[in-house]
């Protein structure tokens, strides 16, 4: 058999393993080799001119493309049901590069308030280039419509959001955006292509911090954007200039991680649902944020547009900051760390880890209470994680 591996109509695990991959690889290798080179050579000028004219395939310089990076991009595109994908040095690098490629001074974007904090801070950076930003609550389409200006060009959102796991109704959002001729960009890191494929709903571009679930092993740093061939081509031209691409070794690790994506996400969906139900019933937990629970504000939307509810659950301890410290210190399985999405369970205290430089009043205004915990579930046994949570809650 030759050519690209078949992918239409395949299940998530088959797509994770084979999606976007060439059936025949260099020297009969089963896995994609690492093309650890910055420069590619040509036999003569005719060969170089043929490449530039699009008459032959190949690569010339690492900033413009690499076989291993390209293999990872094809797999990412297949998983997200996209025409094309681009890989970057980090998730934030992907977002910044795309926004700078699509916007210019004097234009305006709308973002959701409950976004990753660095994304919010990025909007302050964009202001230095004359690009304005407005923020609205996730799901408040009335506020979103009111925020639209004549110079508004795009809407940027996360779904689910970080850390409250708000889920945006993509059908309604896309419909409103189309009415006003706006592009819709979404960071779908928390969902992954296994739980949600925003392009299927008409979203224009989807981002992932590949550092998280896509890599899955806390051993790489990368980001991606997927979308139509025309949009991705224009963004690639800009990326080739500014040089924010990923590298061959990271791409190799990412491909390896993607092979088990569907398996890992399936396990994390199941375990996190069990943990969320346990926490919601516990007398020392005041509130649980997880879209799989009927108590979540966006449960109905999440049930319609997501295949699973993800591997992160946030919750508030019924106590004070001392109680939170006692709880976190009593946990034995999770690591205290700021990331998420890997095979190891991680716990974070957003008020300390991510929002420590804000005043108590400012944190309260965006829902970052001292009692809030973000718990990223790995692939350990659910019974062990629940028992560990129970023991830690008993320490309060």
What mean pLDDT comes out for the span 123-142?
93
355 is catalytic: no
Inform me whether the pLDDT recorded for 210 exceeds 60.
yes
Q: Which of 183, 212, 239, 259 is catalytic?
A: 212
Query: According to the model, what pLDDT value does residue 1 have?
Result: 39
63 is catalytic: yes
**Residue 33 class from Cβ within 10 Å (0-12 exposed, 13-18 middle, 19+ buried)?**
middle
Q: Which of 12, 169, 187, 370 is catalytic?
A: 187
Give the mean pLDDT of the chain. Answer: 94
145-186 pLDDT, tens per residue? 999 999 999 999 999 999 999 999 999 999 999 999 999 999
What mean pLDDT comes out for the span 192-219?
98
Read off the pLDDT band of 7 (50, 70, 90). Answer: low
Read off the pLDDT band of 359 (50, 70, 90). Answer: confident
What mean pLDDT comes out for the span 195-214?
98
Query: According to the model, what pLDDT value does residue 9 have?
Result: 62
Residue with tokens 């109905």: 300
What mean pLDDT comes out for the span 6-19?
82
Task: Write the CATH number of the domain with boundaries 261-394.
Answer: 3.90.1150.10
Class in CATH terms, 12-258: alpha beta
Inform me whether the pLDDT recorded for 379 exceeds 90.
yes
Read off the pLDDT band of 352 (50, 70, 90). Answer: confident
What mean pLDDT comes out for the span 51-66?
92
Query: According to the model, what pLDDT value does residue 4 have?
Result: 56
Name the segment(s) of the chain with CATH classification 3.40.640.10: 12-258
What mean pLDDT comes out for the span 307-313?
98
What mean pLDDT comes out for the span 270-284?
98
Name the segment(s) of the chain with CATH classification 3.90.1150.10: 261-394
Q: Which of 116, 213, 252, 290 is catalytic?
A: 116
Q: Which of 25, 63, 117, 325 is catalytic?
A: 63
What mean pLDDT comes out for the span 279-283?
98
Closest CA to 251 of 223, 282, 212, 279: 223
Task: Between 72 and 350, name the one with better pLDDT.
Answer: 72
Query: According to the model, what pLDDT value does residue 351 have?
Result: 85
């Amino acid at each position: 058999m030759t050519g690209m591996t078949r992918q239409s109509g395949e299940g998530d695990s088959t797509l994770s393993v084979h999606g976007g991959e060439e059936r025949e690889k260099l020297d009969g290798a089963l896995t994609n080799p690492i093309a650890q080179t910055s420069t590619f050579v040509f036999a003569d000028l005719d060969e170089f001119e043929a490449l530039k004219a699009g008459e032959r395939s190949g690569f010339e310089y690492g900033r413009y493309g690499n076989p291993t990076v390209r293999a990872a991009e094809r797999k990412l595109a297949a998983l997200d049901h996209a025409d094309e994908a681009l890989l970057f040095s980090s998730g934030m690098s992907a977002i910044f590069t795309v926004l700078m490629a699509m916007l210019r001074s004097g234009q305006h974007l709308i973002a959701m308030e409950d976004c990753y904090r660095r994304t919010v801070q990025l909007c302050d950076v964009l202001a230095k280039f004359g690009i304005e930003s407005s923020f609205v609550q996730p799901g408040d389409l009335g506020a979103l419509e009111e925020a639209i200006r004549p110079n508004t060009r795009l809407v940027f959102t996360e779904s689910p959001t970080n850390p409250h796991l708000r889920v945006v109704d993509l059908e309604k959002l896309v419909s409103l955006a189309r009415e006003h001729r706006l592009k819709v960009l979404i960071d779908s890191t928390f969902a992954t292509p296994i739980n949600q494929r925003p392009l299927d709903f008409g979203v224009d571009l989807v981002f992932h911090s590949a550092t998280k679930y896509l890599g899955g092993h806390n051993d790489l740093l990368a980001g991606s954007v997927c979308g139509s061939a025309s949009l991705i081509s224009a963004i690639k031209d800009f990326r080739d200039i500014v040089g924010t691409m990923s590298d061959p070794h990271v791409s190799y690790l990412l491909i390896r991680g993607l092979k088990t994506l569907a398996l890992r996400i399936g396990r994390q969906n199941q375990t996190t649902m069990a943990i969320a139900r346990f926490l919601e019933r516990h007398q020392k937990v005041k509130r649980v944020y997880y879209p799989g629970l009927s108590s979540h504000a966006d449960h109905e939307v999440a049930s319609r547009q997501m295949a699973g509810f993800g591997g992160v659950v946030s919750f508030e301890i019924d106590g004070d900051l001392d109680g939170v410290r006692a709880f976190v210190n009593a946990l034995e399985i999770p690591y205290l760390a700021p990331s998420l999405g890997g095979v190891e369970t991680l716990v974070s205290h957003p008020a300390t880890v991510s929002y420590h430089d804000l005043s108590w009043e400012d944190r309260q205004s965006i829902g970052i209470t001292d009692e809030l915990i973000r718990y990223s579930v790995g692939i350990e046994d659910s019974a062990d994680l629940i028992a560990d949570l129970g023991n830690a809650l008993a320490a309060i």
